[in-house]
Amino acid sequence: MAHAVGGPAIPPKPPDDPRTTADSGLFTPTSLSTAMSPREPTYRTLRLLCANGAGMVGFLAAFAVAGEFTVALVAGLIVAAIGYVASSAVVEYASG
């Protein structure tokens, strides 16, 4: 069935935005490298993610074995601290 005169209209195509077109040079590797900070990354977030993952696994394992929340919480904190210290190997791999 054909649409009547008052039917839905197809909107006109907007003009290309020079900030987002591929040939504008905005998203080239050269422009991204010059826009990035010259500081060396600290990888603190990566270390915290490693510690968080290790702590959660330690908590769940201790809770499954001991069945006590307090014991599992202490074990999770200890494993998270060990995971944070041990994550230096992950950071070394990521940075090198």
What is the Cα gyration radius of the chain? 26
57-83 mean pLDDT: 93
Q: Name the residue with higher pLDDT: 6 or 96.
A: 96
pLDDT digits (tens, 9 = 90+) for 22-60: 555 555 555 555 555 667 767 888 888 889 999 999 999
Residue 80, in any domain of the structure: yes
Residue 8, in any domain of the structure: no
pLDDT of the residue at 76: 93
Residue 82: domain span = 40-95
Whole-number Å distance between alpha carbons of 12 and 14: 6
Residue 2, in any domain of the structure: no
Give the pLDDT band (50/70/90) at residue 20: low
pLDDT digits (tens, 9 = 90+) for 21-32: 555 555 555 555
Smallest CA-to-CA distance from 59 within 80, 42, 41, 45 is with 80
Whole-number Å distance between alpha carbons of 28 and 5: 46
Residue 12, in any domain of the structure: no
**Number of domains composing the chain:** 1
Whole-number Å distance between alpha carbons of 7 and 63: 63
Residue 32, in any domain of the structure: no
